[in-house]
Every structure is written in structure tokens, then in C-alpha cells.
Amino acid sequence: MNLIKLDKMAGQDSMLIFHVLARIGYEGLVIVSPSKPLASVGYFQDAAKEIDLEFCANADIPVMRREVGGGATYLDGNQIFYQMIWNRKNPKFPNNVKKIFEVLSEPACETYQKFGINAMFRAENDIITDKGKKIAGEGGGDIGDSMVFVGGILLDFDYVTMSKVLKVPDEKFRDKIYKSMEENLTTMKRELGEIPPREDVKRVLVESFEKLTGKLEPIEFDEETIKKMRELEKVFTSDEFLFKKTPRIPQGVKIKEGIEILYGLYKTKGGLIRTAEEIENKKRIRDIVVSGDFNLFPKNGLNEVEDTLKNIDFNEDIIKKEIEKVYDKKNIESPGVNPEDFAKTIIGAK
């Protein structure tokens, strides 16, 4: 397998790179950081609900949707991303998605440990310290014939900007988010009192991954790949792609007699589920959009879940059974989230 070890890449390139490499069949590890901050939303999230787009525009912070799951976050040069890409048939990697997260979290945990931070994997997709503080979040997804697993080593973190990037109902809630992050999210600087040399961290991270993959052969980032990245950038920066999970359902509570719009919100072990539902006479789902910061494979499985739920009875057991059928048909895996969770979100919508 190969290694592309970079320093900092401009703009959104630090995220675009793994999307391009997955499409061209690259197998191996990418180590990279952004030279300019950006905000990123998970594939299944609704960007308009998760990100304060006005703040980001005014602060010149680009917003990008990625093709892996997980939550909205703020990315800058104080984070060292690790991006592992492989063909889904490669026998070196687990087939079970839950096992993928557990196994591929080991190099990051070991890296923290080598620098004196006792870090461990916490299901479904976090790395925490022995004091229970989160020190890394991870995500994964399927892109064509490839699987991708991404995460970041937190050298330091800009809590203030992150709290401003996120969409909140009011400023009091923003203060609460800031305080919560300060209390529950930590970094190498906070744990050690200083930031270790960047090159040392990258070296240890690569060595730790090689215990799983075998020797990684360094290769150059060629002009053809850069060209493909520029082409993909046009798609990824389009409104159509960024807002693809924004509900199609019109805003409002009552559209006409017998038609209501309900909004569901439910926190599961694997992430937050959001729904926007058009319900007829409290008995039938006419339309529905599902979003959230969970991970789900294959990623197009969520579209089929939405399609299956249209025009069925507004009944928790029926909803659950229909989603289970889609899970079986598409071999869907969603660590920490199951059909019952989706059914609870839909029925509990207000």
C-alpha cells in the first residue's frame, strides 16, 4: 500500500484529496492538514441546519460536505488528518463496519499514547482519554469501489470559532456549546502543556498504521490527480451538493387541512437523527427527509430508506419493519443506529 505524506494543503484540498483518490483506486494512507480553515458537514447532515452559513461567509470560512458520515466540525492547521483508503475487497481490512472503526482507530490511539496521552477507542466513532474527554472523532464511508476512514490528531483546537461555526437557536445556547466543548473536548496541547513537533507526530502516526498495513511506500501527488481534484471541486462546492440533504418539505406546521409538517430529533449511541415529515391526517407519511451525524454504509442506503417510508402508515411497528427490509436488502450497516431508532425519531416528531 502507498503513502502520500503532505504538509498543509490550500483551501478544501485537504478534504477533496481522499475523495479523488478513492475514485481512482488508490490504496493507502494520506497524512495532511489544511492551510486555511474550513467547516465540514457529514454526508447525511443538513448543512443549513448544522452550520451558521452567514457567519462562515462573513469570516471567509468555506463550507464543504464530505462523502463520509459524522458531524459538523471546524478544521484548521492544528489538526493532522489521517485518511485511509482501500478497495472494499482488500482482505487486509475488516468487512464489518463496526470492526473497521475499532481496528483503524488503533494507530491514532497508539500515537497519542506514544506522546504520553492515555487514549482509547470508544464505540461508535470517538477516541477519548482515560479521563473520558474526547480527543478525536472519526468517520467513514463508501466511495465507488473504495472504502474510506478518516480522522484527525488534535494538536490544538479553536473552541471559539467552532462554537460560532455551528448553527444554534440563540447566543445563550452558543455559550453553552462553547463551555461544553471546553469541558469535554481536549487536545495534545491541553494534555501535555505544549504541542509536540508536527513531523514527530506524523512519523509516529505512519509507523502505527504500518503495524496494520505493512510497509507503506511513499509516492508523489501527481499532476493528473491534482487535475481530477480541480474537476471534483466544482461539484463539491456547488449549492446542489452542499444542500443535498436540506429538506424538500416546505417550512411551517400546517400546510392545509389534514397535512402537518413534523420535525423529529433523536440522539442514539451512533449519532443524532433528524427527520422532516409530511404527515396526512396523522395516519400516513406522504414525504420524509432523514439526516444526521451518524455513519451508514452503503451511503445510498439512506435514500432507499426515505423512498420506502413514503406513503406508508404512520405506525412505529410498520415503519420499523419497512426499514428492516431495506437494511436486509441493501446490507446496510450503521454503527450505533438501528431501524428502531429511526422509527422512534419519526413517531416522536413534533
Is residue 183 within 8 A of residue 129, CB to CB? The reply is no
SS3 66: coil
- At 21, list the grid cell: 483518490
Report the distance separating Cα 134 and Cα 157, nearest Å: 12
CA distance to 117, 272, 316, 325, per residue, from 263 (Å): 41, 13, 16, 24
Output the tens digit of pLDDT for each of the chain's 350 residues: 999 999 899 879 999 999 999 999 999 999 999 999 999 999 999 999 999 999 999 999 999 999 999 999 999 999 999 999 999 999 999 999 999 999 999 999 999 999 999 999 998 889 999 999 999 989 999 999 999 999 999 999 999 999 999 998 888 888 989 999 999 999 999 999 999 999 999 999 999 999 999 999 999 988 899 999 999 999 998 999 999 877 666 554 454 567 888 999 999 999 999 999 999 988 999 999 999 999 999 999 999 999 999 999 999 999 999 999 999 999 999 999 999 999 999 999 98
Q: What is the pLDDT of residue 253?
A: 47
- At 64, list the grid cell: 464543504
- The beta-strand segments (E) located in 187-229 are 217-218
CA distance to 1, 289, 319, per residue, from 339 (Å): 36, 15, 8
Q: Is the dihedral of CA 131, 156, 64, 103 positive or negative?
A: negative
Is residue 261 within 8 A of residue 251, CB to CB? The reply is yes
Q: What is the pLDDT of residue 282?
A: 87
Q: Is the dihedral of CA 157, 158, 164, 170 positive or negative?
A: positive
Q: What is the pLDDT of residue 233?
A: 93
Element (H, E) at 151: strand 146-154
CA distance to 105, 136, 139, 150, 205, per residue, from 33 (Å): 18, 15, 16, 12, 14
Local structure of residue 36 (DSSP, 8 states): S
CA distance to 64, 176, 205, 252, 331, per residue, from 242 (Å): 6, 27, 31, 23, 27
> What is the end-to-end Cα distance of the chain in Å, rounded?
50
CA-closest candidate to residue 131, choices 144, 141, 142, 122: 122
Q: Estimate to the nearest angstrom the gap between the alpha carbon of 27 and the chain centroid.
A: 20
Q: Domains, the chain, ranges and CATH?
A: 2-242 (3.30.930.10), 254-347 (3.30.390.50)
- At 294, list the grid cell: 451518524
Backbone angles phi, psi at 151, to 5 degrees: -165, -175
Element (H, E) at 100: helix 97-104
